């Protein structure tokens, strides 16, 4: 009997040590530890043995039973961890999934950079509403109802243009100049602000025109501000923005809210001023309008006439982004096409 139990032990140990699957192992467990297993039969029949034999066989059979339980549970654990590893198996040769990180829109990039430069020059960044009263968009900046200057900007009217009371219409702002009087009403000079923002014009679109675009207004007011101050700020800004020394050129022009008024050009970013197809061989590229703030505008803001001087300028953000990143169609900005925005 003793020999028999030892044999069971050796056989079981041998079989368990063979390579296993979970199914094979549980069959073995039934074979060696199940109700009908030899070992259990022996334990069941202990009562038929002599007292002498019971003393030896009983403890031995129990000891083997416990040892077997132990190796089975060890083996089961081993097997479970192998199965887990198989489930988690990774094919390191499989083609990787393409990660598409988010990108900032080129206009946001340009606006951030502009804001950084102007903040470092001591300017404050100011906002204004997209939906604006006719008063701030036109009247307050020296463009009363019958002013021919209004014809320069095709306007989206929110209120009915025909039946409105004078100056009380509501428009989608056509220019960030609308923020000039809004701001000056509440602040006294000296002041240095920039106003980046969205503007709207009721125009047909093509590669260089959009009905919705962004402008960027600068306004500096103090007792002795001159065109030289404007030139200095403009050259400093454009040189920092394009990372190379830029020249600014003024040409006389007309805007109702400035006197004198200019259009300003910067040296061509493509050829550096030598003349190329981008600048139509002139060496210059037109970027925006500027001028010395009209005293009528100061008056509308509640400042006394002829006490202050200031300069203002406005230009299109899209235009700057197009020059910087060599984009040839303004309509791409609002296309929502991520193949476009991903490139910046
Ligand atoms: N607001 C003008 C425009 O949209 C640009 C401008 C701003 C001109 C400030 C002069 C001074 O055309």
DSSP string, 4-15: HHHHHHHHHHHH
Residue ending a domain, choose from 54, 88, 122: 88
On whether residue 8 sits in a domain, the answer given is: yes
Q: Give the span between the Cα atoms of 80 and 43, in whole angstroms.
A: 31
In tens, the pLDDT along 283-339 reads 999 999 999 999 999 999 999 999 999 999 999 999 999 999 999 999 999 999 989
> Do 219 and 261 reside in the same domain of the chain?
yes
Among residues 25, 53, 88, the one where a domain terminates is 88
Last residue of a domain, one of 57, 88, 119: 88
Asked, for residue 160, whether it belongs to a domain, the answer is yes
Query: The pTM is what?
Result: 0.72
Q: Indicate whether 46 and 124 sit together in one domain.
A: no
- Do residues 298 and 195 both lie within one domain? yes
Round to whole Å and give the CA distance between 47 and 315. Answer: 106
Residue 69 has pLDDT above 90, yes or no: yes
Does residue 29 belong to any structural domain of this protein?
Answer: yes
Chain CA centroid to CA 305, Å: 45
120 and 77 in a single domain? The answer is no
Same domain, 68 and 136: no
Pairwise CA distance, residues 187 & 252, whole Å: 30
Q: What is the pLDDT of residue 214?
A: 97
Contact 177 CB / ligand 1 (< 6 Å): yes
Q: Return all residues near 333 (Cβ < 8 A) that are at least 6 apart.
A: 105, 106, 107, 210, 213, 318, 321, 327
Question: What's the average model confidence in pLDDT over 271-278?
Answer: 86
- The rounded mean pLDDT for the chain is 91
215 CA: nearest ligand 1 atom: 4
* Ligand 1 in reach of 289 Cβ (< 6 A): yes
Residues 120 and 247 in one domain: yes
Residue 310, ligand 1, Cβ within 6 A:
no
Do the domain assignments include residue 243?
Answer: yes
Predicted local confidence at residue 137, as pLDDT: 95
Most confident of 15-29, 90-104, 304-318: 304-318
Residue with the smallest CA separation from ligand 1 atom 4 is 175
Q: Which one has a higher pLDDT value, 44 or 131?
A: 131
Question: Does residue 62 lie within any of the structural domains?
Answer: yes
Question: Residue 108's pLDDT is what?
Answer: 96
CA of 95 to the centre of ligand 1 (A): 53
Whole-number pLDDT of residue 111: 96
Tell me the percentage of the chain whose pLDDT exceeds 70.
Answer: 99
Is 111 part of a structural domain of the chain?
A: yes
pLDDT given for residue 87 in this prediction: 78
Question: Ligand 1 mean position to 261 CA, how many Å?
Answer: 9
Give the count of domains, the chain. Answer: 2
- CA-nearest residue, atom 9 of ligand 1: 313
The answer to whether residues 8 and 151 belong to one domain is no
Mean pLDDT for the stretch of residues 154-162: 83
Answer yes or no: do 221 and 247 share one domain.
yes
Question: ω into residue 26 within 30 of 0, thus cis?
Answer: no
pLDDT tier for residue 166 given thresholds of 50, 70 and 90: confident
Say yes or no: CB of residue 290 within 6 Å of ligand 1.
yes
Domain span holding position 56: 2-88
In a domain, 99, yes or no: no
Encode pLDDT of 171-217 as tens digits.
999 999 999 999 999 999 999 999 999 999 998 999 989 999 999 99
Looking at the structure, do residues 210 and 304 belong to the same domain, yes or no?
yes
**From the CB of residue 131, how many other CB atoms can be counted at a distance below 10 Å?**
12
Confirm or reject: Cβ of 314 under 6 Å from ligand 1: yes
Does the Cβ of 258 fall within 6 Å of ligand 1? yes
Spatial distance between the Cα atoms of 16 and 20, rounded to a whole number of angstroms:
8
Ligand 1 centroid to Cα of residue 290, in Å, is 6
Same domain, 37 and 116: no
Q: 292: Cβ below 6 Å to ligand 1?
A: no
Shared-domain flag, residues 160 and 208: yes
101-105, 110-114, 120-124, range with the lowest pLDDT: 101-105
pLDDT (tens digit per residue) in 207-256: 989 999 999 999 999 999 999 999 999 999 999 999 999 999 999 999 99
Ligand 1 mean position, distance from CA 314 (Å):
4
Phi, psi dihedrals of residue 206, rounded to the nearest 5°: -150, -165
Query: pLDDT at position 114, please?
Result: 97
Query: Is the pLDDT reported for residue 139 higher than 80?
Result: yes
| Nearest atom (ligand 1) to Cα of 152 | 12
Assess if residue 96 is contained within a domain: no
Beta-carbon-side half-sphere exposure of residue 330 (alpha carbons within 13 Å): 16
- Closest residue CA from atom 12 of ligand 1: 289
User: What is the CATH classification number for the domain harbouring 293?
Assistant: 3.30.930.10
Measure the CA–CA gap between 83 and 87, rounded to whole angstroms.
6
CA distance 293 to 49: 120
Query: Does the C-beta of 218 come closer than 6 Å to ligand 1?
Result: no
Structure tokens at 165: 């009371």
Beta strand segments in the chain, E? 124-125, 131-133, 170-172, 191-200, 212-222, 248-253, 258-267, 284-293, 309-316
Judged by DSSP in three states, 50 sits in coil
Closest atom of ligand 1 to 261 CA is 10
Q: Is the same domain home to 46 and 122?
A: no
């Amino acid at each position: 009997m003793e020999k028999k139990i030892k044999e069971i032990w050796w056989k079981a140990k041998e079989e368990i040590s063979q390579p296993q699957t979970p199914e094979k192992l549980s069959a073995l467990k039934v074979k060696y530890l199940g109700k009908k297993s030899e070992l259990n039969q022996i334990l069941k029949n202990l009562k038929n043995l002599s007292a002498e034999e019971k003393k030896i066989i009983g403890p031995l059979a129990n000891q083997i039973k416990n040892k077997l339980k132990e190796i089975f549970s060890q083996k089961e654990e081993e097997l479970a961890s192998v199965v887990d590893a198989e489930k988690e198996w990774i094919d390191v040769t499989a083609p990787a999934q393409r990660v598409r990180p988010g990108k900032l829109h080129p206009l946001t990039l340009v606006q951030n950079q502009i804001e950084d430069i102007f903040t470092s020059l001591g300017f404050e960044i100011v906002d204004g509403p997209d939906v604006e009263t006719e008063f701030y968009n036109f009247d307050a900046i020296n463009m009363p109802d019958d002013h021919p200057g209004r014809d320069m900007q095709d306007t989206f009217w929110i209120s009915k243009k025909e039946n409105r009371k004078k100056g009380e219409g509501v428009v989608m702002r056509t220019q960030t100049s609308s923020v000039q009087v809004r701001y000056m009403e509440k602040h006294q000079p000296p002041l240095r602000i920039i106003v980046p923002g969205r503007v709207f014009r009721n125009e047909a679109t093509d590669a260089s025109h959009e009905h919705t675009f962004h402008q960027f207004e600068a306004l500096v007011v103090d007792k002795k501000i001159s065109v030289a101050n404007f030139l200095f700020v403009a050259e400093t800004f454009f040189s920092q923005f394009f990372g190379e020394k830029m020249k600014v050129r003024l040409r006389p022009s007309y805007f109702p809210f400035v006197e004198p008024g200019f259009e300003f050009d910067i040296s061509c970013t493509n050829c550096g001023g030598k003349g190329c197809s981008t600048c139509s061989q002139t060496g210059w590229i037109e970027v925006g309008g500027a001028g010395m703030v009209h005293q009528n505008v100061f008056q509308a803001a509640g400042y006394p006439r002829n006490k202050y001087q200031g300069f203002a300028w406005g230009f299109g953000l899209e235009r700057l982004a197009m020059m910087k990143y060599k984009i040839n169609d303004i309509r791409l900005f609002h296309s929502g096409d991520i193949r476009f925005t991903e490139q910046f």
